[in-house]
Amino acid sequence: MLLHQSDNGHLHFTRILDNLPCESSCRLGMLPAEQAAPLKLLEKGVSKEALAGLVLLEFPCELASAVLAGRWASSPTPFTPFMLGYKIRLVMAAAVTLVVSHVS
């Protein structure tokens, strides 16, 4: 059951609360690259318009990946897509770091 009622009458999302520490700590691997890359690109002379264009390209990809992740998560093994996505995001964070370090 996704929701359960505690003794004081509050409703709790059991699976979400159980997975919260894991998902929060998993974000730490990607967070520095995701936050520092645009700042470093601006510092190296990439225009704000070019970064805005990248965001316009990134949004549909994120939307499609969220839909795909939702379909995968409803499979009999929902943790497998999470681990695959985690590995892909780590590789992408490393690739962004490499690209940013080589932009002149």
Domain assignment of residue 96, given as a range: 29-102
Q: What is the pLDDT of residue 4?
A: 55
The length of the chain in residues reads: 104
Mean predicted confidence (pLDDT) in 60-83: 81
pTM for the whole structure: 0.55
78 part of a folded domain: yes
10 part of a folded domain: no
71 part of a folded domain: yes
What span, in angstroms and rounded, lies between the C-alpha atoms of 61 and 97? Answer: 20
List, for residues 26-41, the tens digit of each pLDDT value: 777 777 777 888 888 8
22 part of a folded domain: no
40 part of a folded domain: yes
8 part of a folded domain: no
What span, in angstroms and rounded, lies between the C-alpha atoms of 89 and 97? Answer: 12
What span, in angstroms and rounded, lies between the C-alpha atoms of 11 and 4? Answer: 6
Tally of domains within the chain: 1
Q: What is the pLDDT of residue 7?
A: 62
